[in-house]
Chains A and B, each alone.
Chain A
Amino acid sequence: MNDLAPGTATSLPAETSIALTVNRVRRQMSVAPWTTLLDALREHLGLTGTKKGCDHGQCGACTVLVDGRRINSCLTLAVMRDGSEVTTIEGLAEGDALHALQEAFIEHDAFQCGYCTPGQICSAAGLIREGRAKTSDEIRELMSGNICRCGAYPNIVAAIQQSMAAEGVV
């Protein structure tokens, strides 16, 4: 975690070593301060499942779970997340067994081009964990940070509702 002594603020060099636990595996890497978490995942760790859509926090394609909470990985720096646990779309399945949300997205045909899908599924995983959405209206409101330019929204909502029912949320 934090190896800086309390009460001090130490400038880090241009490249700094950080550790992230990504999909349950501890990964050490050297990143520049301006490397976003998104770029660290894609370019440093080769985890290209997380997509770069707008790169401005407007589309949700880069959504991952950090310490259990969904965030836009394009709007946070990797150095700020040193010591965190990150779950990406690659970390949701258990071996060959897909996550319930992944199964539901396939079953409901909840995508067309698929580019927003990893962000949609990670966001939905965060949504279900938060437990604030029960109705389809609440799902739509709390999934509004994930844009689908193919317009698969009705099927995305249906897939999320199925997963919530399967987990006994509703």
Chain B
Amino acid sequence: MNPFTYSRADDVATAVRDIASAGGAKFIAGGTNLLDLMKGNVERPARLIDINRLALREIRRGPDGGLEIGALVTNTDVAYNEEVERSHPLLSRAILAGASAQLRNMATTGGNIMQRTRCPYFYDSATPCNKREPGSGCSAIEGFNRYHAILGHSESCIATHPSDMCVALAALEAIVSVTGPGGERSIPIAEFHRLPGDSPHIDTALGAGELITAVILPAEGFPEHFAYLKIRDRTSYAFALVSVAAALRMEGGKIAEARIALGGVAQKPWRDPGAEAVLRGSEPTRDNFANAAQAILRDARGFEHNAFKIELARRTVVRALSEAAQESAR
């Protein structure tokens, strides 16, 4: 790790003011990703501003039935929260599919959203990487790309976003609340993470000096029909090859609303409203699910070691939707 100075902020206003006045500063919360990146000299902040004492550790039920999750609530505390389990169980399932118990005890809601790709070339400062060092090239396109993107990639970058939690947030259409030099604003989760294009070093829509303060879940949490299915090289404590968050609202035996979000396939959780619309008003049959899967993956393109993920993703979508269509075990 590079030498850095350290300070603590005791309220949000101070944290935002401090990061604006300090060049090269970063916020630290759980630290599970940032410290790892600092050990590899991928991140070299001049200063860390510790935000763990900010009052952002509550989960509150809103008047409309939604949930507001403070940015510092740990992944463990979200996953096992009774309110989350009751109204938005898809989020609990997704979180518990990720990392280990130890990491979930440290990792925070805001930090999970902000985590960076686990592309091995991004981590290896001896190799070119446009995300780590813009303009240096992408080592993964011609390299070992088993874990890389099949959707939304560019000639600059084929990395994936590693989060499970964010895949559920995408399906649930969460809103990210942030505070910064320009005041407070809300960013829909679909707009929070960026596709690489020609600027893969910019992961998110978060502005300079902005701090995530909360995640808002709309009231519709699909507690009756949901599934989170994660396919990986070992059955626990591994990043996804493909994951699918599926949520259905059923009316009279037909699908009234469908949400499908994919993880492990792009630099952001992947949704396709057109494919979801295919299912609206239809019966929950395997053929209909296969049509939706086909639609989501229609533009997918793989590389030497990951082309198998296209068919894997199709099958995972069908299975996740089939599981969601069953009365989900409560």
Interface residues of A (CB under 8 A from B): 2, 4, 6-12, 14, 16, 32-34, 36, 55-57, 60, 63, 69-72, 75-77, 79-80, 123, 126-127, 130, 132, 140-146
Contacts and interface: CB of A to CB of B under 8 A. Distances in A.
Contacts of A11: 5-7, 47
B31 interface: yes
A80 B18 CA distance: 17
A75 B106 contact: yes
Interface stretch (B97-105, B250-258, B277-285): B97-105
8 nearest CB pairs, A to B: A145-B100, A144-B236, A33-B6, A144-B237, A9-B9, A34-B1, A69-B105, A145-B102
Interface residues of B, number: 38
- Mostly, the B contact residues are mixed
Given A9-B14, A63-B102, A77 B236 contact: no
Most buried by B among A11, A16, A60: A11
A72 B105 CA distance: 9
Given A4-B10, A75-B106, A142 B31 contact: no
Interface in B223-273: 236-237
Contacts of A57: 32, 36, 102-103
Given A16-B6, A32-B3, 9 more contacts: A2-B10, A11-B6, A34-B1, A56-B36, A69-B105, A80-B50, A123-B102, A126-B102, A145-B99
Contacts of A36: 35
Contacts of A141: 236
Nearest to B236: A144
Interface of B: 1-11, 14-15, 18, 28, 31-32, 35-36, 38-39, 47-50, 52-53, 76, 80, 99-103, 105-106, 236-237
A14 B46 CA distance: 12
19 contacts: A2-B8, A2-B10, A11-B6, A11-B7, A11-B47, A33-B48, A56-B36, A57-B103, A60-B102, A69-B76, A70-B101, A72-B102, A76-B31, A80-B28, A123-B102, A132-B80, A143-B101, A145-B99, A145-B101
